[in-house]
Structures are given as structure tokens and as C-alpha cells.
């Protein structure tokens, strides 16, 4: 009801402080107080809980977020220079996801070499740097690189090196979050367990913030770098692409700086406690308490070595159904190793971890339309580098705000509830893209004087969808930080990450199958003669969109129902 209706309703008492002047109603103080309280509870409080010791792992997470700097460049480079199909790119996504399935043995390795885990960050940074240098060479000196081996082969090598580097850094960052939470207060007294649990939750939230914050930063850079690039000649565009890959070399430097900072903070804290009169024995007991003895689990290490050997041999041999064989073997190995680790938990924790893993696995395993969707947006809707950079910026910023805004929601609701909510929201927010394929943007533009066109719809859809991007994982990570055995934190983080990342491999396989059933092609021209080698064909993309939406709605709810029937819980 409008404000002026209240004056003519004799049944309602007048509110003395209400009048028609804007911002001067009695509701204004209440609204402003609510907004101020929300900001304090969800954003300012998180900032107040920030500690210097949290910074090293957060820097490694920032490096992961900054990795998106080359995303738009990579999309246009593949589209303009490489003749790779959507199905092949989906298959490559499967192979690139395999290193993430190995987080479990790597996590166990970190537990075994706890005091020397920084070396893995240096190794990961080196692999990332090599991957970026390969892409820089492909963009800046394609003829020289092509003289050594094909551009496509170089691209595949780069695409495989990068995830190995990132997974090495990520598994160490997960372990660093455990030791980043202080054990003692400023007086050297042990902190109570309840306070450390709160700190663990805060640090996991800040970890997601760091990743998304890195994404916001690179989105801003992309917006600036690609401003007006659509009107530039090919040589000028290529020079900008090379600049972006050169700038991306800061990524490994950030993660290495985080490791160096961790050492500096540890030395600073030791000096502070030493000045308070703590002897060396007590100092080491506080800052570096001797971990419980961790014996090598040869089932984990040996099984993982067998898995790597099988994966490499099948990949090199290019045997038919090689990806499917690797996926089934991966799932069997990880399930077996998870079962061994679950024995160390009590019955309630075991059911909680298992139910959570199943729900998140299915939710993340849903296939997507693949690269063909982006090609269609570029070719048919006219989305250029600059606009895609702006979309990325909006998505990153709103995802960051969503992480703050849904903080209480994440803490109070179960994973099953959150996944159900995300499934419904994702389905509804997929409909505008399907509508645009069938001409929705043309109808809306015709009836709004050209205002609500394809770009307007994409902006609104991105703005609504982005805040939901990261809220499924935080509760699970916080639960592990609180409930996993103290001497196996890294292993448990890695186990769940391996299992849920394997879901992304399942998603890549499903995307490949759908792209084989509904073939989508972009126009490919010979780089020398400019003759058309493959014509663009997006006629089957609508059916592909529809199948993806239906699967994304039905299957996650079925998984939630199955876990309820099995009386499993979720975190």
C-alpha cells in the first residue's frame, strides 16, 4: 500500500512521526539501523576478526583468484587461432581436472612433510610460471613456437601444467590455514577451543573472500585492458593479449611471497614471546607444537601412484574410453581411501561427512553447455572482450558481496538446504539465456526502445546469479577445520577436495557427451588464406541449453532425497 493511502483509512491509527517527505518517515531510522547492523555483523565484524597470521594462506588464495586474469584472453585466443572443437575442449577440461583429484595424496604428503611444505608452494609457482610463459610465447611468437611443435600441442601442455601448479599451492594453503589460527593470546596463554573454532570459520570465509577478491582485481584489469579492443587491428589485439599474459606472471610471485611472509611472522612472534621471558623449549611448544606422529599411509600413497601411472598411460595411448576408465578408477580409488579415513571418525561425524560429500558431488557434477555457449554469445549476441570483462567484474564483485551477505545463511543452514536453494536459483537464472537463444532479447528490445537488449539481460542475470557462487563450500570447509583429527587436517581437507573436484571431472565428461550429441561449431578460418574451414552452426545449442537446465534441476534434488532415505546428514 502506498504511503498516501494511510491518510484515508479511518480504521488505521495515524503514526505521528510519519509524513510524506522522503527519508523522514518513522521507518527511516529503523531501516538505517538495520542496514548498519547488517554491515556490522557481516562485513565489519569479519574485518575486525582479521589477524596478521591469516595473511600468508590468504595470499596463496589470492594468487588462485588472480589466475582468472588470462581467462578472457584464453577464450578469444582459442576461438581465433586454434581449431579445437567444443567437445575437445570439454575433454581437455577433464584432463585438467585430474590433478585436483590428487589432492588427497598430496594432502597426506603435506602431513608427512609438515615442516617443509613451503617447498611445494615454490614447485607449484614454478609450474604456473612455465605454463604462463608457454602461452605468452604462443601469443607473441606463434611462428617460432609452431616450428617446435603445433600450437594446439603447446596449448594442451600449458593447460595441463597450470592445474598441477595450482593444486600443489592449494593443498599447502589449506594446511596453512590450520597453523595460521593462533594457539595462544598476547600473554602466551592457550586460547579456548570455542574461540579457535570461531577463528577457523572466519579464516575459511576470508579464504573464499581472498579468492573472489583476486577475481575482482583481475576483472578490473581486464576491463581497463580490453577497453575499445574490439575496434583494434589484429596486431594491436595480439599485443594486448601478450601484455595480459606477461602481467599474469605476478601470480606465482604472490603465492611465494605468502610463504616468505609466513616465515617472517613466525620469527616475529618468536621474538615477541622471547622478550616476555619464554625459554626456547616453551617457545617451540607454543609456536611449533610437535605434531602427533603421522605414519605414511601406503594405501593412499601407493594407490595414488597406481592411479597416476594408469592416467598417464591411458592419456598417452589415447585408448578409446580412456577418460571414462580413468574416471571410474579415480572414483573407486578415492572412495576406497575415503572409507579408510572415515573409520577414524565417530558414527555421527561419519554420516555427516558422507552425506555432505554425496550432495556436493552431485551438485558440482552437473554438465554445462561448454565452450559453444561462449562462442554463440560472441558471434550471435555480439559480446566482445570489453563486455565480457565487464560481466566478469560484476560477477566477481557481487560474488564477494554474496559471501558476506550469506554468511549467516551459511552458518545456520545445512548443506542439503543450501544446495537445494542453489539448485532452484540456478535453474531460474538459466532461463534468460535459453530465452535469448529463442529471441527473447529481440522481443524485449523492440518493446523497450532498445534498452532491454541482450547485454542488459546478461548484466541483470549475472548480477542475480553471482552472489550465489561460493556459498556451498564454506560450511563444509569450516566443518572439516573443526571436526577432523588434529594431526590429519590437511589429509581431510584434501580428501573432500579430491572427491568434490572429481565431480568437476564428471561434469566435464557430461559436457563432452552433450556436445557430441548436440554438435555446436564456430567459424574457423585458415590463418593464411582466410578461407572458411568450418562454418558456424548453433542450431542445436537450444536443445543443449534445455537438457543442461533439466539435469541441473532434477538430479541434485534426487541426491538430497537419497541421502535422506539413507539417514545421512549434511554439515
Q: Residue 542, Cβ neighbours under 10 Å: how many?
A: 14
User: How would you label 246-272 residue by residue, b for 16+ Cβ within 10 Å and e otherwise?
Assistant: ebbeebbebbbbbbebbeebeeebbee
Beta-bridge partner residues of 184? 190
Distances (CA, A) of 430 to 173, 259, 369, 406: 33, 40, 11, 21
Pairing of strands 524-525, 532-534: antiparallel
3-state secondary structure of 124: helix
Instruction: List the one residue out of 411, 489, 471 whose CA is nearest residue 181.
Output: 489
Phi, psi of 106 (to 5 degrees): -65, -40
pLDDT given at position 436:
92
Whether 12 has a pLDDT exceeding 70, the answer reads no
The dihedral formed by the CA atoms of 402, 408, 414 and 417, expressed in degrees to the nearest 10 = -50
pTM, rounded to two decimals:
0.68
pLDDT given at position 187:
64
DSSP state of 526: -
Is residue 359 within 8 Å of 503, Cβ to Cβ?
no
Whether 222 has a pLDDT exceeding 60, the answer reads yes
Q: Which residues lie below 8 Å from residue 347, measured CB to CB, with a gap of 6+?
A: none
Residue 248 to residue 257: CA distance in whole angstroms: 15
Is residue 556 within 8 Å of 362, Cβ to Cβ?
yes
Beta-bridge partner residues of 190? 184
Q: What is the DSSP string of 89-130?
A: HHHHHHHHHHHHHTHHHHHHHHHHTGGGTHHHHHHHHHHHHH
Whether 405 has a pLDDT exceeding 80, the answer reads no
Q: Can you state the angle between helices 489-517 and 86-101, rounded to 10 degrees?
A: 170
- In the numeric block, the cell 584489469 is attached to 221
Residue 52 to residue 197: CA distance in whole angstroms: 18
pLDDT given at position 491:
65
Residue 99 to residue 162: CA distance in whole angstroms: 10
Q: Residue 417, Cβ neighbours under 10 Å: how many?
A: 13
Residue 317: left if φ>0, alpha if ψ -120 to 50, beta else—which one? Answer: alpha
- Least confident stretch, 247-261, 278-292, 353-367, 545-559: 278-292
Q: Can you state the angle between helices 298-317 and 322-342, rounded to 10 degrees?
A: 170
Whether 6 has a pLDDT exceeding 60, the answer reads no
pLDDT in tens, 448-476: 888 888 888 888 877 666 666 566 666 66
Instruction: List the one residue out of 133, 129, 132, 143 whose CA is nearest residue 81.
Output: 143
**Entry field: residues in the chain:** 571
Distances (CA, A) of 539 to 383, 437, 482, 523: 19, 10, 50, 13
Residue 173 to residue 436: CA distance in whole angstroms: 41
pLDDT in tens, 147-198: 888 888 899 899 889 989 998 888 888 777 777 776 666 666 666 766 666 6
Q: Can you state the angle between helices 474-483 and 193-225, rounded to 10 degrees?
A: 150
pLDDT in tens, 502-537: 888 888 889 989 999 998 888 877 666 667 777 888
Amino acid at each position: 500500500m502506498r504511503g498516501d493511502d494511510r491518510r484515508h483509512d479511518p480504521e488505521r491509527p495515524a503514526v505521528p512521526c510519519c509524513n510524506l517527505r522522503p527519508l523522514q518517515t518513522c521507518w527511516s531510522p529503523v531501516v538505517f539501523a538495520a542496514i548498519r547492523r547488517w554491515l556490522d555483523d557481516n562485513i565489519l565484524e569479519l574485518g575486525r576478526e582479521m589477524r596478521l597470521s591469516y595473511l600468508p594462506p590468504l595470499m596463496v588464495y589470492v594468487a588462485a583468484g588472480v589466475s582468472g586474469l588470462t581467462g578472457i584472453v584464453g577464450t578469444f585466443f582459442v576461438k581465433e587461432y586454434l581449431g579445437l572443437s567444443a567437445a575437445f575442449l570439454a575433454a581437455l577440461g577433464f584432463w585438467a581436472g585430474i590433478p585436483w583429484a590428487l589432492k588427497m595424496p598430496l594432502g597426506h604428503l603435506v602431513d608427512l612433510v609438515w615442516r617443509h611444505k613451503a617447498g611445494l608452494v615454490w614447485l607449484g609457482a614454478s609450474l604456473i610460471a612455465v605454463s604462463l610463459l608457454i602461452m605468452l610465447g604462443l601469443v607473441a611468437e606463434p611462428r617460432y613456437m609452431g616450428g617446435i611443435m603445433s600450437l594446439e600441442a603447446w596449448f594442451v601442455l600449458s593447460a595441463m601444467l597450470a592445474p598441477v601448479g595450482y593444486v600443489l599451492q592449494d593443498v599447502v594453503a589449506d594446511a596453512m590455514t590450520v597453523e595460521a589460527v593462533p594457539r595462544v593470546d598476547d600473554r602466551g596463554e592457550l586460547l579456548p577451543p570455542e574461540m579457535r573454532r570461531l577463528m577457523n570459520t572466519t579464516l575459511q570465509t576470508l579464504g573464499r573472500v581472498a579468492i573472489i577478491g583476486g577475481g575482482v582485481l583481475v576483472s578490473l584489469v581486464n576491463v581497463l585492458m580490453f577497453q575499445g579492443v574490439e575496434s583494434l587491428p589484429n596486431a594491436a589485439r595480439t599485443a594486448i593479449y601478450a601484455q595480459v599474459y606477461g602481467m599474469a606472471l605476478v601470480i606465482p610471485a604472490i603465492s611465494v611471497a605468502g610463504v616468505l611472509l609466513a616465515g617472517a611472522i613466525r620469527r616475529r612472534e618468536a621474538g615477541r614471546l622471547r622478550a616476555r621471558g619464554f625459554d626456547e623449549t616453551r617457545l617451540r611448544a607454543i609456536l611449533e607444537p610437535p605434531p602427533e606422529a603421522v605414519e605414511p599411509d601406503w594405501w593412499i600413497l601407493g594407490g595414488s601412484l597406481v592411479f597416476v601411472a594408469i592416467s598417464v598411460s591411458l592419456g598417452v595411448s589415447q585408448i578409446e574410453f580412456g577418460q571414462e576408465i580413468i574416471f571410474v578408477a579415480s572414483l573407486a580409488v578415492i572412495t576406497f581411501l575415503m572409507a579408510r579415513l572415515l573409520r577414524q571418525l565417530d558414527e555421527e561425524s561419519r554420516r555427516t561427512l558422507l552425506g555432505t560429500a554425496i550432495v556436493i558431488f552431485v551438485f558440482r557434477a552437473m554438465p554445462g553447455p561448454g565452450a559453444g555457449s561462449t562462442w554463440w554469445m560472441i558471434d550471435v549476441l555480439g559480446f566482445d572482450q570489453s563486455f565480457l570483462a565487464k560481466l566478469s567484474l560484476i560477477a566477481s564483485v557481487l560474488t564477494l558481496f554474496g559471501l558476506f551477505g550469506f554468511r549467516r545463511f551459511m552458518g545456520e543452514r545445512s548443506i542439503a538446504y543450501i544446495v537445494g536453494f542453489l539448485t532452484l536459483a540456478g535453474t531460474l537464472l538459466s532461463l534468460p539465456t535459453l530465452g535469448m537463444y529463442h529471441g527473447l532479447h529481440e522481443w524485449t528490445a523492440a518493446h523497450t526502445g532498445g534498452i532491454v537488449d541482450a547485454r542488459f539481460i546478461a548484466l541483470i542475470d549475472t548480477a542475480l546469479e553471482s552472489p550465489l557462487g561460493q556459498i556451498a563450500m564454506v560450511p563444509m570447509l569450516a566443518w572439516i577445520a573443526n571436526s577432523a583429527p588434529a594431526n590429519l587436517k590437511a589429509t581431510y581437507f584434501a580428501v573432500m577436495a579430491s572427491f568434490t573436484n572429481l565431480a568437476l571431472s564428471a561434469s566435464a565428461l557430461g559436457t563432452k557427451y552433450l556436445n557430441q550429441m548436440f554438435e555446436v561449431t564456430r567459424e574457423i578460418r585458415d590463418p593464411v588464406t582466410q578461407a572458411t574451414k568450418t562454418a558456424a552452426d548453433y542450431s542445436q545449442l537450444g536443445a543443449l541449453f534445455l537438457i543442461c537446465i533439466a539435469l541441473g534441476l532434477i538430479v541434485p534434488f534426487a541426491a538430497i532425497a537419497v541421502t535422506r532415505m539413507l539417514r545421512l546428514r549434511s554439515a
